[in-house]
Amino acid sequence: MAKLIALTPFAGLLPVIHGGIEASEVLPQRLMSVAPYAGQEKAVAAKLDDGLAKVNRRKGAVTWFGHGVWLVAGDVALDGLAAVTDQSDAWAVVQIAGTGVEDVLARLVPVDLRRGLFRNNHVAKTMLGHLSVTIIRTGSHAFEIMVMRSMAQTLVHDLDVAMRGVAAR
């Protein structure tokens, strides 16, 4: 009988390091999609330790994830207040960090991610190459990039090519 082995989305693909920039896998404990029912946003915010993040922002464990939807790291109990679905296995998360990381992302993303405009805990739903991604600034030279799990290998390839290009300058 075959023995199945659970693998992370980036197993064997990360870390990737070029020119002082490193892409590494982030393994969130649990990711829950929270979509408050009509008129229940305040009640949902009161139940969450960090409340609900503003549009295009992350607040603690709560990340704005689109119109009326937040992604919460950890378990939530919101019976009767929101539609809650476990998204833990659906997403792959990369941290990319180092001096020059903005130059790498500028080659791939049509959003201005410079520090003066896109600050810590800012969130962008955008494209990276041809991939739909969510990008969160986590530090002065660090970002998290979330992509559907099935696109993990493509994300690593695109980041690797851009990182090599910036390192070669």
pLDDT at 1 over 90: no
Q: Are 75 and 31 in contact (CB under 8 A)?
A: no
Same domain, 44 and 57: yes
* Within a domain: 12: no
Distance in angstroms (rounded) separating the CA atoms of residues 32 and 169: 41
Same domain, 64 and 143: no
Query: Residue 6: its pLDDT value, please?
Result: 86
Q: Which residues pair with residue 26 across a beta bridge?
A: 93
* Within a domain: 11: no
Select from 70, 86, 102 the last residue of a domain.
86
* Residue 42 lies in domain: 31-86
Region of residue 60 (phi > 0: left; psi between -120 and 50: alpha; otherwise: beta): left
Both structure tokens of 61: 């464990």
Number of domains the chain is built from: 2
Select from 44, 71, 86 the last residue of a domain.
86
Same domain, 103 and 154: yes
Residue 161's contacts (CB-CB under 8 Å, 6 or more residues apart) are none
At 150, which CATH number? 3.30.1360.120
Residues 38-86 have pLDDT tens digits of 999 999 999 999 999 999 999 999 999 999 999 999 999 999 999 999 9
Same domain, 44 and 124: no
Query: Residue 29: its pLDDT value, please?
Result: 84
Query: Residue 34: its pLDDT value, please?
Result: 98
Residues 95-143 have pLDDT tens digits of 999 999 999 999 999 999 999 999 999 999 999 999 999 999 999 999 9
Same domain, 106 and 72: no
